[in-house]
Chain A
Amino acid sequence: MTDPRWDEQLLLQYLDETLEPGPRDRVQRALQDDEAARVALRDIAEQAVVLADLERTGESRSEPSRSPSKRGLPVVLRRAIALTILGVVGWLSVTGLTGGIETGPRITELNGSLQWTGSSGRVDGDLVVGDVLQGGTLDSLSANSWATLEFDDGSRVTISGKSSLAVSAERRKELHLWDGALSADIAPQSEVRPMVIHTPTADLEVLGTQLNVDVGASSTLLNVNEGRVRLTRLVDGQVVEVPAAHQLVASVDGNEPLEPAPRPNVTGKWASRFIDDTSVVFGKWLPASLWLPGRLRATPLPHRPCGKKKTVVLHLAVVAVSRDESAAVILRRGSTIRVRGRMDAIFDTKIGFTTHWPRGGFAGKFEIVVPAAEIRLVDGEFEFVLELADFKSISKKFDSSLTGMELRQVWAVTVDEPVGLELVQVELLPPQETVRSKGWWQSVVEWMEDWWVEWASFEIAEPATDRSTRQDDPNTESR
């Protein structure tokens, strides 16, 4: 039994910071020395959250809170006041003075394994297009999953791959990207109430722009493609504005300079480097040993595809292309992806990748199955050389033409079978010269495509001025 003499009132005033310095110091000392005081504090905290939980989950037996001072008003008068308020709010909404009555964002596209956890703790794994999300966390659970949310004002946010995004219940335009990748196309916002995206290492205030955010364990990579974003680094509170066509990394190290850098040039060639875990999105990084180089080992991930009852176990390894690169890696006609790795037993293996449009924005996921019959192991090692043209889009929405898209992530996965899959190196190889030895018309087409890629890379370095003429909007693109 705890000491009943402890004065809870002092504790409440202490928590509210309304005590004078003398009593405040006494409470502070008591909390350090007197267990009864700590038990009282603990009980207050438990009582507060349990009461809130009862109210939140609707287990409350009484009606919602109402000001006692208004209880005495006649019912007719109360209804008249309510109607008047509704009318005024409606008028303000129509005239745009309030920015409209906001609801939560609506799912407009989804694929793969997704899960919504509402603020009451209820988990929903059967999301469908049209669901409205209010107050909770949306998790994209596997490499090939994604979801696009659309707000009332037309702003669109896409998370893809292993990502976790919390949507505020009160402030509809407040998002928390705890992990993973987000691409956002934000409509112009009010300066006094911008969209805010929080990450573990930075806060981003967005007034209307196109941006991509990649969140790792200790850093946030921001790419601004259009508009301007105000970034606050949490470790030291330093604020910097990131203009269009620039990028910035905000990490937990406050000693690192916080200066936006121009968006880099493009390259058609890339190779993973598993010298550390910087580029690891999912899987276990294994350091180099005497006989083996550094590599990425697939780790298990339970996965229940939307609409399916059976949960499968993916053995998944995902590597980021963009996280440690100073240049945007662009796909070209005739490019190939070479994957070298190890496995203990031969099994069907899926290789896939995520793309963005050249000037930002999620552009789809593509994958290919390498059947067990086509896998050759030499001393436990395999090598796949895969033509881009052989990859299939996971969703019909995205065209299978990949020329000019930016490569963001590559993954390898086996389903249900833990075959010890490890990635030793993943490469994007530029087109071979022999690919060009075709008919003159084919050569002209390819030359024009290459020119388009170069033109797009030039545009990356220039701030776009007219959002209405964007070529990279997935909804209007007709390629």
Chain B
Amino acid sequence: MSTFSEQDVLRLLMQSRDRISAAAWLVTGDTQVSEDIFQNVVVKALTREVSFEVEGAVLSWAFITARREGIDWLRRHGRESNGLDPVVLDLVSQSWLTESARDGGERVSALRECLDRLPDESRQMLRMRYYEGYNCGEVAETFRLGLNAVYKRVSRLHAQLRQCVESRVGRMGVEPS
């Protein structure tokens, strides 16, 4: 059976970059750390001696490694876990693994377009929460809103983005308000 070359592995990992980073985010809750973890996964994939024979093996290894690195990071920062059940993490990783790289890529591409069409204030709220790492309480303070109102708005934004992505992937053309 032929094995994947370094270039094949690199291409596959880059196609699945957002999903692998997302798996790390579910553990760490920090988008910057998740990006670092993804890079470490790539380095490890290219320097390890074991070869991969199927696409699924590369991605399965990558998701497991990303999660382990996330757990290591939590431990280094004095936390045992983020509260997410390992079984749940397994099931979510499975849903990423069962999706082909092409389908996942299309969904992420649609998501980028949807994010770019968000109203400024909505985008700013998500930026503070996920890029700048503020918790919802701090976001609420900044926007002079109640905590519950921020949770409502952020959750509504997530739901709208999901609908937007599904619509775009299904070529229905619905955009977030």
Contact = CB atoms under 8 A, between A and B. Distances in A.
A38 B91 contact: yes
A15 B91 CA distance: 16
Of listed A12, A43, A47, residue having the most chain B CB within 10 A: A47
A203 interface: yes
Given A16-B136, A32-B88, A51 B155 contact: no
Given A119-B32, A234-B75, A55 B155 contact: no
Given A32-B91, A62-B123, A169-B32, A53 B158 contact: no
A4 interface: yes
Contact of B39 (A43, A137, A170, A200): A137
Contacts of A164: 43, 47
B136 A52 contact: no
B127 A51 contact: yes
Nearest to A66: B124
Interface in A115-169: 117, 119, 121, 136-137, 139, 162, 164, 166, 169
A302 interface: yes
B91 A53 contact: no
A179 interface: yes
11 contacts: A12-B136, A14-B83, A15-B84, A28-B88, A38-B95, A43-B158, A43-B165, A52-B31, A52-B130, A121-B35, A137-B40
Interface residues of A, number: 67
B49 to A, nearest CB: 6
A49 B29 contact: no
B158 A47 contact: yes
A45 B23 contact: yes
Nearest to B165: A43
B47 A162 contact: yes
B32 A52 contact: yes
Contacts of B21: 49, 53
B126 interface: yes
Interface string B75-111: 1100000111101100110011000000000011001
B144 interface: yes
B53 interface: no
Contacts of B91: 31-32, 38
A429 B135 CA distance: 62
Contact of A13 (B44, B151, B161): B151
A467 B6 CA distance: 45
A475 interface: no
Contacts, number: 180
A54 interface: yes
Nearest to B72: A234
Contacts of A290: none
A43 B157 CA distance: 11
Given A43-B162, A119-B36, A65 B151 contact: no
Contacts of A28: 85, 88
Interface in B145-160: 151-152, 154-156, 158-159
Contacts of B26: 41, 45
A4 B155 CA distance: 12
A53 B35 contact: yes
Given A9-B151, A12-B136, A32-B87, 8 more contacts: A2-B166, A7-B155, A40-B158, A42-B22, A50-B115, A65-B131, A119-B35, A176-B40
Interface of B: 6, 17-19, 21-23, 25-26, 29, 31-32, 34-36, 39-40, 42-44, 47, 49, 72, 75-76, 82-85, 87-88, 91-92, 95-96, 107-108, 111-112, 115-116, 120-121, 123-124, 126-132, 135-136, 142-144, 151-152, 154-156, 158-159, 161-163, 165-166
B34 A49 contact: yes
Interface string A10-28: 0111111110000000001
Contacts of B121: 68
Given A17-B83, A43-B162, A200-B72, A68 B143 contact: yes
A65 B107 CA distance: 26
A55 B131 contact: yes
B12 to A, nearest CB: 15
B40 A43 contact: no
Contacts of B85: 28, 31-32
Contacts of A13: 151
Contact of A139 (B43, B155, B161): B43
Contact of A49 (B25, B47, B92): B25
Given A31-B88, A49-B25, A137-B40, A69 B151 contact: no
A1 B170 CA distance: 10
B39 A4 contact: no
A448 interface: no
A50 B111 contact: yes
